[in-house]
Amino acid sequence: MSSSYASSGVNLDRASAAKKLIAAAAKSTHTSNVVRGIGLFGGFYALDEAVDGQVLVASTDGVGTKVLLAAQVGNISGLGEDLVQHSINDILVCGAKPIFFLDYLAFGKLEPEIAGTLAESLARGCRAHGVALIGGETAEMPGLYAEGHFDLAGTIVGTVRRDRIFDGARVQVGDVLLGVSSSGPHTNGYSLIRRVLASRIESGEIGALKMSDGRSFIEAVLAPHRCYWKEMEPLLAHPSLHAMSHITGGGLVENTERVLREGMHLEVDWNAWVLPELFRKIQEWGGVEDEEMRRVFNCGIGLVLIVAKDSVDEFHAHFAKSGEKIFTIGRVV
């Protein structure tokens, strides 16, 4: 039987409709300090009107049902890094440097040991990227969350000069799409992953499954969300970098279309990179159609750069210095 996100309980079309309603309500609250409307990867709030003035960029997100899989197999130690690093990427693609983070931990029954493990994971993610963890909320809500269940979410705030915001305004027809590898599914698609893996987890088979690189399958599927800040910080002022997209829920096309102006579209070469082994296994075991894979998962590409076509080789060379191959995956048409 073919698996889909909808069959695992997540409907992306409903999510899109809800976001439009939320955006309309939010717009009614905006003041002149709000620099851009809702729809990009972060929200922009100007501290002053000068061209070189500082703008705050903020984003709120969660880890999703990766929490359930991690708890089910007894490996929650990377969830805080998942959250922090996902959040950094969301404001990075707006051009912002992350400065501080706030977390939200919610439990059916507060377990101090679990809370401590999550807090240390959050702190590791923050320390690795120079981000201050300055506060948050820890809530115990029996009845809302089942005993043994918990959730975590957070808000990141960064800064960017007003004239260095990435909002898609610089994108041109003919620009090239460059794909940077992900570390795995990151923090999206886990409701479908859990559905695909359910029988293997129930039978205990999951613990014996191995990847060709020697890692256990469960280690690979729970690998923390990759953060792109260190690789991208030196490129943020490059005049040929026109936009970026963080590939999260909705996949490569939906996320990258956020930074295109009216009349522009993506032409993606899906054969420009090989679907990583982990995703091939998920697709095979779940009988997931290609189009569904591309809409639900990052499929091995966690960050897309939109660059001027005459600078493509320069960007490839930048990543090659650290031994990484990036992929030319399409263009803007």
Please list, in sequence order, all residues whose beta carbon lies within 8 angstroms of the beta carbon of residue 236, skipping any fewer than 6 positions away: 95, 164
Q: Measured in whole angstroms, how far is the alpha carbon of residue 40 from the centre of its chain?
A: 13
pTM of the complete model: 0.91
Q: What angle do CA 126, 111, 10 make, to 5 degrees?
A: 70
Q: Residue 78, SS3?
A: coil
CATH number for the segment(s) 31-164 = 3.30.1330.10
Q: Residue 89, SS3?
A: helix
The pLDDT of residue 265 is 97
Q: What is the pLDDT along the chain (333 residues), one digit of tens a residue?
A: 456 656 656 676 777 788 778 877 877 888 888 887 676 789 999 988 777 899 999 999 999 999 999 999 999 999 999 999 999 999 999 999 999 999 999 999 999 999 999 999 999 999 999 999 999 999 999 999 988 899 999 999 999 999 999 999 999 999 999 999 999 999 999 999 999 999 999 888 988 999 999 999 999 999 999 999 999 999 999 999 999 999 999 999 999 999 999 999 999 999 999 999 999 999 999 999 999 999 999 999 999 999 999 999 999 999 999 999 999 999 999
CATH number for the segment(s) 176-332 = 3.90.650.10
Q: What is the pLDDT of residues 64-122, one digit of tens each?
A: 999 999 999 999 999 999 999 999 999 999 999 999 999 999 999 999 999 999 999 99
C-alpha pair distances (Å), 279 with each of 220, 230, 302? 10, 26, 13
Residue type, 316: H
DSSP 30-70: --TTB-S-BTBSSEEEES--STT-EEEEEEEEE-TTHHHHH
Domain ranges of the chain: 31-164, 176-332
